Structure 1
Amino acid sequence: MKKIFLLIYFMVIGHHLHGQYLFEGQLTEGASDKSVYLSVIEDYRKLSRVYMEQIFRKTVTDSLGYFRFQGSNLPEGNRIYRIHIDNCTDSRLGANHVFNGCSDTKSITFIAHNRDTITFPKTFANEVLCDISSTNPKSDVLLQVDRLKEEMVYDFSNFRSAANRKLNTKKWFEHLQRFGRQVNEPLAELYIYDFLSDRRNETYTYYLKDLAQNEYYADLESRLRKKYGNTVFTRLYADEIAVDGNLRALNGTGSFPWKWIFAALLTLSILLNLFLFVKSQRQNAKPNLAKLTVQERKIVDSILNDKTNKEIATELFISHSTVKTHINNLYKKMNVSSRDEIKSLFLGHNKNQPGV
């Protein structure tokens, strides 16, 4: 199914496909009939290892160990590709192959478009897939990034102190981002971003802080959209920095703010229980009628019968202001603040009780 998806992918973008590409190289002499695979990587979060759904071409080496990929089925613009070889037999392909289970596996990741001629020469030590000779000046920038990452690791390993880590993190973030701008290839910057923002790396915490104050990330999104439009990797990057930005806003460290959420829930629970307790106490309280004068009891009876102040004044032959005075005294004696609370206080009691 995944191979069918890749086939459809290249058919859909077929109107952009023209030109011939040629990727070739040589393994060690005598390494004949070795499987060599060509993959396209649209999801930059899947750069760390081989995924079966990325593979769209396979060839085998000839009697002298040469391999070649040639055709016109690549997108017109630059994309990230991988060539890898392994000694897995056909029976071992599958899970072992996907998770790099074969001990003899070699790969190289590079940038290319559909008109490139690229050679992967052997080095002086007969190492393979370690160097690139290409008509595309951007093809080897990922190798250059890998060399910078090795220097970064060396800097961090000199002193395993917090001070050294802090200073070197800031230095290498700036250095790698500056390099990405200089090569003028957003795909190389995605390659760098994938490394610096990886949650498994020590750089992740600094990345969240940098994201909040550095315009570089928004600029990179603009460069991606300008050069590559609404591609898979552009959308993925835009979504990621939006989510990480919100995460950073929730908590300055970037870790999920469980302690604050727990504190808020605990406070809410205490307030809710206090409210329910007070409400229960009021509902269960017995109205103490002994504290009330005869006139106040009559006013309580009128309130329970939903009579207005004017109606109470007419019925008891007193002034409107006197009614208000009696009601204010009722509030104080019964520890309430409204007519509704008086009604609630007497709820469940017989309204026809003598004197009420």
Structure 2
Amino acid sequence: MKYFVLIALFLMLPVSALSQYVFEGQVDPSDWNGQAYLSEIKDYRKLNGVFNEQLIQRVPLDSLGIFRFSGNSLSEANKLYRIHVDRCASYEQDLNHFTGNCEHSKAMIIIANNKDSISLPQRFDNEIFCEAISTNEATLALLKVDSIMEAMKYEFVGLRSETAVNNLLDTWTKRLHEFGAEQDPLVGLYIYTTLTDRSTIFYDHHLRSLNKTDFYDTLKTRLEDQYPEAATSKQYFKELQADKSLAKMEEAVDHSNLYLGGGVLVLLLMGAGYFYGRKRPGKIKAALTPQEEKILQLIKENKTNKEIASELFISHSTVKSHVNNIYRKLGVTSRDEIKSLTIR
């Protein structure tokens, strides 16, 4: 009778008490070191780094490169997680994980909860984290977003016209928005994170088109309904408001620029001519970075800042910063000086 009561009590336990997550995969053990890591994404601006404050579990790789995360400690609601392996030597790992800088790593972002099972098989060509078998459809949707982004970047190859680039951005951004609108809100948040990376041309386009779409306001409402207390949701609410304020400021600047008179342009040209006449290019004052070397070569090829931004997949403002650094390091004040400069 006692055993019958115990069995009955066990069967009456809520499903949540029996739930357990299982995330497993395989990597080539000759390429990766002896551990795999599971992190919770508490800050979606840290998707691509390795941060100690986000690490929740580490497990060893066996002799075949197989790893397995399991337990009963995750949230019952969906959250963003990151699985990664790296090639860092053991003495480097603590420093790399503290600074968020781990150059030799491979990772996959997943959406999961405490009940999910996810398998990450190794492909025949030893590629990893390219496929997933998951009980959570949202993880599969993230892979779809990644594939859309890759296809969009591939179409950028060879584009030089600013109009062509903007049209392509409009087309693919709309496709991402339409896809994300049908998925878990965390998929929409992942799309937002990708399209607002300030190191790429996507961010400038995001600001220009922010008031032309209801995707982001709708996403805010959906996150408030499903994940109101999540740290990533609160982060999004603040960033969206900041984006809107910045978009209004840039729109105001664009409108004011329309009223600049020809006299201002003449003064600018006169000033440039004055400094050009007083200052001659000299020796390099500081070494150029690899990115600055690329931009210097493109300047010599008569590429505009916008064309350089498109070719290198960086924002227009980032190009301007690099150009200013090049001017300072070379001791020049114009592109003409750069083209005529013999670096000594």
Aligned residue for 2:134?
134
Residue 32 (structure 1) shift:
9.2
Q: What SS class does the counterpart of residue 251 from structure 1 fall into?
A: helix
Residue 43 (structure 1) shift:
1.5
Aligned residue for 1:36?
36
Aligned residue for 1:241?
240
In 2: Cα distance, 1:188 partner to 1:21 partner: 20
More displaced stretch, 27-36 vs 74-83: 27-36
Correspondences of 1:174-213 after superposition (within 5 Å):
174-182=174-182, 184-213=183-212
In 2: Cα distance, 1:17 partner to 1:245 partner: 43
Correspondences of 1:214-293 after superposition (within 5 Å):
214-252=213-251
Q: What SS class does the counterpart of residue 94 from structure 1 fall into?
A: helix
Question: What CA deviation, in whole Å up to 9, does each residue of 1:78-107 have, x standing for no partner?
Answer: 11111111132321123334444453x221
Whether the 8 Å CA contact 1:110–1:141 is kept in 2: the answer is: no
Q: What SS class does the counterpart of residue 88 from structure 1 fall into?
A: coil
Name stretches of at least 5 consecutive residues in structure 1 with no aligned partner: 1-15, 261-356
More displaced stretch, 168-177 vs 208-217: 208-217
Residue 169 (structure 1) shift:
1.3
Residue 251 (structure 1) shift:
3.2
In 1: Cα distance, 2:161 partner to 2:31 partner: 47
- Identical counterparts, % of pairs: 36
Residue 145 (structure 1) shift:
0.9
In 1: Cα distance, 2:31 partner to 2:151 partner: 33
In 1: Cα distance, 2:194 partner to 2:127 partner: 25
Rg larger for: 1
| CA shift in 2, pair 1:29/1:197, >3 Å | closer
TM-score normalised over the length of structure 1: 0.63
Aligned residue for 1:296?
none
Residue 156 (structure 1) shift:
1.7
| CA shift in 2, pair 1:66/1:137, >3 Å | same
Aligned residue for 1:70?
70
Whether the 8 Å CA contact 2:121–2:129 is kept in 1: the answer is: yes
Residue 29 (structure 1) shift:
5.6
Residue 55 (structure 1) shift:
0.6
Amino acid of the residue matched to residue 219 of structure 1?
T
Question: What CA deviation, in whole Å up to 9, does each residue of 1:126-164 have, x standing for no partner?
Answer: 222221111112222222111111111112223121121
Correspondences of 1:282-321 after superposition (within 5 Å):
none
Aligned residue for 2:90?
90
In 1: Cα distance, 2:74 partner to 2:236 partner: 22
Amino acid of the residue matched to residue 230 of structure 1?
E
Whether the 8 Å CA contact 1:198–1:204 is kept in 2: the answer is: yes
Note if 1:124 corresponds to 2:92.
no
In 2: Cα distance, 1:31 partner to 1:212 partner: 46
- Aligned length, in residue pairs: 243
In 2: Cα distance, 1:199 partner to 1:254 partner: 19
In 2: Cα distance, 1:17 partner to 1:239 partner: 35
Name stretches of at least 5 consecutive residues in structure 2 with no aligned partner: 1-15, 260-344
Residue 65 (structure 1) shift:
2.1
More displaced stretch, 22-31 vs 204-213: 22-31
Amino acid of the residue matched to residue 214 of structure 1?
T
In 2: Cα distance, 1:131 partner to 1:78 partner: 20
Aligned residue for 2:114?
114
Q: Which has the higher contact order (CA 8 A, sep 6+)?
A: 2
Indicate the RMSD between aligned Cα atoms, in angstroms: 2.7
In 1: Cα distance, 2:187 partner to 2:96 partner: 29
Q: What SS class does the counterpart of residue 252 from structure 1 fall into?
A: helix
Aligned residue for 1:172?
172
Whether the 8 Å CA contact 1:19–1:114 is kept in 2: the answer is: yes
Whether the 8 Å CA contact 2:32–2:85 is kept in 1: the answer is: no
Q: What SS class does the counterpart of residue 138 from structure 1 fall into?
A: helix
Residue 18 (structure 1) shift:
6.3
Whether the 8 Å CA contact 1:156–1:164 is kept in 2: the answer is: no
In 2: Cα distance, 1:65 partner to 1:198 partner: 33
Amino acid of the residue matched to residue 248 of structure 2?
A
Residue 217 (structure 1) shift:
1.3
In 1: Cα distance, 2:247 partner to 2:32 partner: 53
Amino acid of the residue matched to residue 85 of structure 1?
V
